[in-house]
Every structure is written in structure tokens, then in C-alpha cells.
Amino acid sequence: MKKLILFFAIVLNGKVCFAQSSVINPNQGISVPQFTTAFIDGMTNQPKGTVVFDSDLNVMKYYNGTSWQTMSAGGVGYEWTTNGIDILNTNAGNVGVGTGTPKVKFDVVSPNITNAIFGSSSTGISLQQNWPTIGFNQYRDETNVQRYIGSGYAAGNTVDPTTGTMHWTSIPNGDAGNPTPLETTVMSLSALGRLSINGLTAPANGIIVDGSTNISPIVSNSASDGALRIYSPMTGQSFSGSQFMDIDKDAIQSRKVGVFPNFTKTEQNLRLNPYGGNVGVGTADNTISATLLVHKSPSSSFGTAVFKGTTHYSHFHFGTNEDTYIRGGKNGSNVVLSDVEGTGKVEIGVYPSLYKLEVNGTARAKEVIVETGWADYVFDKDYQLKSIDDLEAFVKQNKHLPNIPKASEIESNGLKVGETNKAMMEKIEELALYIIQLKKEIDVLKAKN
């Protein structure tokens, strides 16, 4: 043990102590004592300013009076100076970290994905290479595992060097140092300026909003009227094109373009609130109670609603006195009230009704045409005409003619014009037969006299 202590004393005396001055040959370097890291850490109580070389770390170290400190190890020609607590480089050249050939004023080269972290003690920012990325509270370690810098949410801004598409990603809340879960792409911008928000990572058209639900894309064109186009690309075995809706300064149009064998027109139907809700036209009221609420424009000469045919217009209109008008588009045109199968009803002043047309009030017409059966069967040879005596007995008992409704029925149920006219014609024709029969009897009496 004594021999070992003596050996260390000789080494320290020969390699560590530099109290005396010496003349240095300009053609020779200065040999600095070299030790391992462990050996240097064991050398305590050295004179302040003692310098050694750490052969394990390949760095210069000096003793500041209490501990060993690593000296800066810049490359040739890159001198660092101190100004108070600041570290300055006054050279006009470039500074490289991890490279001997820096391309710019400050060039950092790392074998790992992450080149730098700013604010590693909290939720900082990282700079990453290969797929150039700015990591917000996230970085990739030496094994390429993405981790949180600090505790909290994280995000990223990445450029795909193979396509030029830029992606913005979001990462859920997590703890510092832990691996992050799979990130979600919330927005992508292609090299052609096509933007996808919460949708496709490779947008092909305009602005795509949530492509997973087919609300896509929105394209604002360069027309002077400021048109906005909302469309959906459509492809299939027999068609190829797009279906879109244009909104410009004074029109909304739904259309198709491309090859659609089953469609002969580019114009398509435009549906408003097909799944519920009401539609207001010409009104700012947000409490619309009707399915369609239309307010008349004061300057309208056609009425509230105008429907164009081939040439002319039909109008549905209400006036200032609240009267409602329905008229055809030209002189002599018809106004038809009917459903598809003709089984509906028209009710005026009454609801509901059991009849095709019911008017609660007086109806006036120059002529009414009723199409129903007629009473010519009275003149058939097999018709059973009551005798005068039977007719007299019926009238005395019922107080009305046969097949003619009594007064109380008319008062309760109304007069059925068609059936009543038929019954009246039946009585007229029966009366004609009675007259003919009486004439024959009179002629017989005349012949006897």
C-alpha cells in the first residue's frame, strides 16, 4: 500500500503541478496531463486553474477551486469569448454543431430525428429532421419514439418531403417523458394549395371540410361575381364527373358536370331542409311556424310566387287587402285543383267534407253541367208504371211522389242535383205516359158518344 501511495505522489508531482514558468519552443506543443474521468473526479483540493485532459470524454477540464469543469471544445477557428454571463462568437464564419462544414451561420447536425429542443424544462418546442417537423411539446428520442417534452397536450407541424403536403397534427394530453399516443391529422395543405380540415391527408380539390362525411370540397372561384362552389366528385363504372351547387351574387344552382348516362340535363333538383325544419323567403323572422313562409316584395308585379312554364307565368298572389289570387299564365289558361289520382276534395268555407266539392254558402253559376244517369227507362215496354189509383194512394200516405225525397230529407241532407233532376225527369216521363193513357180513354168515350 505504501508503494502505491508513493507512486501516485510521484505521478501527481510530475504531471499535475505547473507552478514554475518555462520557455516554450514555438515548434512544439504543450503536453497536458491525461487521465480517465474516474481518476480526475478523484483529484480534489487541486490548485484553482489546474488543467487536465479527460481521455474518456476527449475534453479539456479545469479545476475552479471546488470541482472540475469541462472546457468548451470548439473547432479550429471558432473562438468563444465571455462577456459577463454571455457567451459570444465574434467570428464572421459559420458555427456547426455535429458538423465540420456548417452551411449557414448556425448549423446543427444530429444522427437522431430531433436536432434541438427549446424549453425542455417545460412544454417546449423541438426541431426534427427527415420529415421536417416543428414539435410543440413533443420530440423523438434516439430510438425514434415520440415523447412529451412536458405534461399537457402536444401538436406538430410536418412537411411530407415526398409530396410537399404540410400536415398539422394534434396529440392528446399526456405526462412529461411518456410516449405519445397516435397523433391525429387535423389539417393538411397540399403543394397545390388544396386545404383539408379534419378530412383527407392528401386533398385533391379546393377546401375539404371533414371528408369522412362527404361534406367536400368548397371551392371559391375567381369569377367577378364572387361565386362559391360546393361539390362532390363522383366516379363509377358508367359515369365520371361531379355534382355541385353554385352560389353567386343572385342565384343558387344545383348541377352536374361530366359523363352521366342516366342524366340528360346538367340542372339538378335543389332541396331545402329535406330532413326537417322550415324555410323562410323574404323574411328575417327566425321563428317561422310554417313549412314555407313567403313574404311578398313591395316591388313585385307578379305576386308572391311565380311559376314559369314554356313561355308564360302562373301566379299565386295575395293583395294588400289580404285576398288570395290564383291565376293562370295567359288568357284562356286553366286553373286545376286536383290530386294525381283525382280522389281529392275541394272544400270552401268548410272542413272536413264528405264530398268532392262543398261550399259553405251560396254558389252562383251561369250554367251547371251534371253528368249522371237519365230516366229514359220509363219508356221501356217492361217499365212498371203505377196506376192512377196507386199513385193517389201513395201520395195520400207519403205526402210526396214516388222516388222523390221528402222535404225533411232535403232540409237535412241537401238537394242532390243530379239525382233530383233524374227523379224529376222520371216523373215528367211518367206524366207523359199518364197523359197518353188518359187521351186514349177520352178517345174511347168520344167514340161511344
Q: pLDDT per residue over 91-148, tens digit each?
A: 677 888 888 788 888 888 888 999 999 999 999 999 999 899 999 999 999 999 999 9
Q: Are residues 115 and 255 in the same domain?
A: yes
Measured distance CA(152)–CA(149) in Å, rounded: 9
Q: Are residues 283 and 241 in the same domain?
A: no
Q: Which of 328, 332, 194, 257 is nearest to 202 (CA)?
A: 194
Would 274 be classed as within a structural domain?
A: no
**Which pLDDT score, from 0 to 100, does residue 268 have?**
64
Residue 211 clears pLDDT 70, i.e. is over it:
no
Q: Of the residues 293, 327, 361, which one is the last residue of a structural domain?
A: 327
Q: Specify the DSSP class assigned to residue 304.
A: S
Would 363 be classed as within a structural domain?
A: no
Residue pointed to by grid coordinates 480526475: 40
Would 98 be classed as within a structural domain?
A: no
| 9 touches 16 (CB < 8 A) | no
Would 4 be classed as within a structural domain?
A: no
Would 288 be classed as within a structural domain?
A: yes
Q: What pLDDT band is residue 303 in, cutting at 50, 70 and 90?
A: low
Q: Are residues 118 and 249 in the same domain?
A: yes
**Which pLDDT score, from 0 to 100, does residue 158 have?**
96
Q: Are residues 319 and 200 in the same domain?
A: no
Q: Are residues 235 and 172 in the same domain?
A: yes
Answer positive or negative: Cα dihedral of 178, 179, 182, 184: positive
Average pLDDT over residues 40-61: 89
H or E segment and range at residue 279 = strand 279-281
Q: Are residues 203 and 320 in the same domain?
A: no
Q: Are residues 289 and 173 in the same domain?
A: no
Q: Which of 180, 184, 99 is nearest to 144 (CA)?
A: 180
Q: Of the residues 292, 327, 362, which one is the last residue of a structural domain?
A: 327
Q: Are residues 118 and 244 in the same domain?
A: yes
What domain range is 322 assigned to?
Answer: 279-327
**Which pLDDT score, from 0 to 100, does residue 245 have?**
72
**Which pLDDT score, from 0 to 100, does residue 337 have?**
75
The whole-model pTM stands at 0.43
Would 359 be classed as within a structural domain?
A: no
Strands 34-35 vs 252-259: parallel, antiparallel or unpaired? unpaired
299: Cβ contacts below 8 Å, ≥ 6 apart: none
Number of structural domains found in the chain? 3
Q: Are residues 307 and 382 in the same domain?
A: no
Q: What pLDDT band is residue 309 in, cutting at 50, 70 and 90?
A: confident
Q: Of the residues 292, 310, 327, which one is the last residue of a structural domain?
A: 327
In 346-408, DSSP assigns E strands to 346-348, 357-359
Residue pointed to by grid coordinates 475552479: 64
Would 65 be classed as within a structural domain?
A: no
